[in-house]
Amino acid sequence: MSDIILETRGLTKRYGGVHALEDANFTLQAGEHIAVVGDNGAGKSTFVRQITGVEQRTAGKVWFDGNEVDFAGPIEAREHGIETVFQNLALADDLDVPSNLFLGRELIRFNLGPFSILDRKAMRERTQDALTRTAVKIPNLSNTIRHMSGGQRQCVAIARAASFASKLIIMDEPTAALGVQETAQVENIIRGLKDRGIPLILISHNLRQVFDLVDRIVVFRRGRIVASLRRDETDGNDVVAYITGVKGAEAGAYA
Partner 1 sequence: MAELSGTAAPAAGPRRRRQWPAEINVLIGLVVIALIFEVLGWLQPMWRSDIAAQSFLWNSQRLSIIIGQVAITGIIAVGVTQVIITGGIDLSSGSVVGATAMIAMSFAQVAMVNGNPNPKAIFGPELMDLPAIVPALVAVACGAIAGMINGALIAYTQIPPFIATLGMMVTARGVANWYSHGNPISFPTQAYTVFGSGLHPVLIFVALAVLFHLALRFTLYGTRTYAIGSNPEAARISGIKVERHLMLVYSIAGALAGVAALVLTSKNLTAQAGMGVMYELDAIAMAVIGGVSLSGGRGSIVGTVLGALIFGVITSGFTFLGIDAYYQQIIKGAIIVVAVIADVARQKRRARQA
Applying CB under 8 A, the residues found at the interface with partner 1 are: 74-75, 78, 86, 88-95, 99, 103-106, 108, 112, 114-118, 120, 135-137, 139-140, 142-144, 146-152, 181-182, 184-185, 188, 191-192
Residue closer to partner 1 by CB (options 1, 112) is 112
Backbone φ and ψ of 79, nearest 5°: -65, -25
Q: What's the closest the beta carbon of residue 154 comes to partner 1, in angstroms?
A: 11
Residue closer to partner 1 by CB (options 3, 125) is 125
Residue closer to partner 1 by CB (options 32, 83) is 83
Question: How many angstroms from the chain centroid is the CA of residue 123?
Answer: 23
d(CA 187, CA 12): 31
Residue closer to partner 1 by CB (options 70, 93) is 93
Q: What is the 3-state secondary structure (H, E, C) of 151-200?
A: HHHHHHHHHHHHHHCCCEEEEECCCCCCCHHHHHHHHHHHHHHHHCCCCE
**Residue-wise DSSP of 3-72:** -EEEEEEEEEEEETTEEEEEEEEEEEETT-EEEEEESTTSSHHHHHHHHTTSS--SEEEEEETTEEE--S
Q: What's the closest the beta carbon of residue 192 comes to partner 1, in angstroms?
A: 7
Residue closer to partner 1 by CB (options 74, 223) is 74
d(CA 251, CA 202): 22
Q: What's the closest the beta carbon of residue 51 comes to partner 1, in angstroms?
A: 15
d(CA 127, CA 234): 39
Residue type for 238, please?
D
Q: What's the closest the beta carbon of residue 188 comes to partner 1, in angstroms?
A: 5
Q: What's the closest the beta carbon of residue 76 comes to partner 1, in angstroms?
A: 10
Local structure of 81: helix, strand or coil = coil
Strand-strand pairing, 224-230 and 216-221:
antiparallel
Residue closer to partner 1 by CB (options 12, 84) is 84
Cβ atoms of 178 and 206 within 8 Å: the answer is no
Q: What's the closest the beta carbon of residue 234 comes to partner 1, in angstroms?
A: 28
Q: What's the closest the beta carbon of residue 177 comes to partner 1, in angstroms?
A: 12
Local structure of 91: helix, strand or coil = coil
Residue closer to partner 1 by CB (options 93, 235) is 93
